[in-house]
Amino acid sequence: MKVTVVGAGAVGATCTDNIARKELAEELILLDIKEGFAEGKSIDMMQTSALLGFDTKIKGCTNDYASTADSNVVVITSGLPRKPGMTREELIGTNADIVKGVTENILQYSPDAVIIVVSNPMDTMTYLTLKTSGLSKNRIIGMGGALDSARFKYYLSQELGCSPADLNAMVIGGHGDTTMIPLIKHATWNSIPVTQFLSQEQQDKVVSSTMVGGATLTKLIGTSAWYAPGAGTAAIVESILRDEKKLLPCSVSLEGEYGQSDIAIGVPVVIGKNGWEKIIELNLSEDEKTAFAKSAEAVRNMNDVLSF
């Protein structure tokens, strides 16, 4: 198995580190536009192999797409990071050009790859990749929901005083501060609804904290987060390469599901060796259906800025 991560910034490097530690691939390519940047990070990570005991070979390169040839999975993290006070929507123009160029270069050498989009605004960049790549919709996956759901579980665990591993909780909708929908009524603690343990005030607190989870970290550390985004992306890569059939919320192309079409937005999907294999349609309440429709409208408004 071979994996390429495009973008050696904090998220790309963390994703690469997670993939290597789990030995998900024999070969791992880290590519960046900045001269020597990916090479340096790959050498640094390879020098941990003797300490951590992994055998994955990590190679860094500067814009050498030939090195990425025959990748099974490609992760695109390229683009400008979010700065304090900047919304994901404000990134759209510059990052669209970057993601489109990266996709074209990748497919020249790996036409059969599954592509995972991490670049923001993530739903719009996933839609852009879908529309311009010519790939099957099942081979294009936006990472955002996996990250948002991990944050949701974190805030629930803090309020419940429990292990996040004991929680099942999911965020659907757009990967944005105002568009994501933490499904608090569907969340369970070892099969018991969390609403049995939390007051309405506590539930509202968890939901609101989840929705601004990314912005909270950007304000604290001065740039976008990277540990959880990197781990969330690696989890999707793992489900593909090991054909795990994990159920993860990801941004994928809808064709009538959840009442939406011609859009990429976060919904629960089964992830396996061919990319996303099946969309799971949840039994949403009327309020949740309304929130999802509103989220889709906001994502479409961003998509309308794109020029193909």
The residues assigned a catalytic role are 175
Give the separation between CA 244 and CA 264, rounded to whole angstroms: 23
Alpha helices in the chain (DSSP H): 10-21, 37-46, 49-52, 92-109, 122-133, 144-160, 200-211, 213-221, 227-241, 286-303
Tokens of 227: 């540990």
In one-letter notation, the amino acid at residue 130 is: L
Q: Are strands 275-279 and 180-182 parallel, antiparallel or unpaired?
A: unpaired
Give the separation between CA 248 and CA 280, rounded to whole angstroms: 10
Which phi and psi (to 5°) does residue 136 adopt?
-60, 140
CA atoms within 13 A on the CB side of 152: 31
Give the separation between CA 78 and CA 96, rounded to whole angstroms: 10
Q: Are strands 73-76 and 114-117 parallel, antiparallel or unpaired?
A: parallel
In one-letter notation, the amino acid at residue 273 is: K
Residue 121, preceding bond cis, omega within 30 degrees? yes
**Can you say whether the dihedral through the CA atoms of 238, 299, 195, 284 is positive or negative?**
negative
Give the separation between CA 183 and CA 172, rounded to whole angstroms: 7
Q: Residue 65 contacts by C-beta under 8 Å, 6 or more apart in sequence?
A: 31, 105, 106, 108, 109
